[in-house]
Amino acid sequence: MSKSGFRVPHTLVLLAGMILVAYLLTLVLPQGSFERVTNDQGREQVKAGSYSQLESPERLSPTVMFMAVPEGFASSQEIIFFVFLIGGAFGVLRATGAVDAFIGRLLELFAGKPSLLVAGGVILFAVGSSTIGMAEEYLPFVPVILALCLGLGFDAVTAIGIICVGYGVGYGAAIFNPFTVVIAQGVAGVELTSGWAFRLAMTVVLVTVGVHHVLSYARRVRADPSSSLVADVEPDMSLKLQKHPALTFRHGLILLLTAAAVVLIIYGLSTQLSDWHWYVEQMGAVFLALTILFCLIAKMSPDRAAKEFCIGAAELTTTALLIGFARAIVVVLEQGQVIDTIINGIATPLQATGPYIASVGMFLVQSLCNLFIPSGSGQAYVTMPIMAPLADLVGVSRQISVLAYQMGDGFTNILVPTNAVLVGILAMARIPYDRWVRFIFPFMLKIWVVGSIALVTAVWLGVQ
Instruction: Give the chain's mean pLDDT.
Output: 85
Which one-letter DSSP state was computed for residue 385? H
Half-sphere exposure of 403 (CA within 13 A, CB side): 34
Q: Strands 52-53 and 44-46: what pairing?
A: unpaired
> How many Å apart are CA 325 and CA 180, to the nearest integer?
16
> How many Å apart are CA 217 and CA 230, to the nearest integer?
12
Q: What is the pLDDT of residue 158?
A: 94
Comparing CA positions, the residue from 262, 294, 246, 292 lying closest to residue 96 is 294
Q: What is the pTM of this model?
A: 0.76
Long-range contacts of 353-356, Cβ-Cβ distance < 8 Å, separation of 24 or more: 354/395, 355/394, 355/395, 355/396, 355/459, 356/455, 356/456, 356/459, 356/460
> How many Å apart are CA 437 and CA 439, to the nearest integer?
5
Given a contact cutoff of 8 angstroms between Cβ atoms, the answer to whether 373 and 14 are in contact is yes
Which one-letter DSSP state was computed for residue 275? S
Phi, psi values for residue 44, rounded to 5°: -80, 135
Q: Is the pLDDT of residue 72 over 80?
A: yes
| Residue scoring higher pLDDT (115 or 205) | 205
* Alpha carbon distances (Å) from 258 to 108, 126, 291, 293, 382: 23, 17, 10, 10, 31
Q: In angstroms, how far is the first alpha carbon of the chain from the final one?
A: 43
Tell me which of 146-150, 283-287, 288-292 is least confident. 146-150
Phi, psi values for residue 370, rounded to 5°: -70, -20
Q: What is the pLDDT of residue 171?
A: 93
- Taking each continuous run of H as one helix and of E as one strand, the counts in the chain are 19, 4
> How many Å apart are CA 312 and CA 99, to the nearest integer?
14
Q: Is the pLDDT of residue 3 over 50?
A: no
pLDDT band with cut points at 50, 70 and 90 for residue 165: very high
For the chain, the farthest-separated pair of C-alpha atoms sits apart, in whole angstroms, at 73
Comparing CA positions, the residue from 160, 261, 174, 249 lying closest to residue 213 is 160
Q: What is the pLDDT of residue 447?
A: 95
pLDDT band with cut points at 50, 70 and 90 for residue 406: very high
Given a contact cutoff of 8 angstroms between Cβ atoms, the answer to whether 198 and 459 are in contact is no
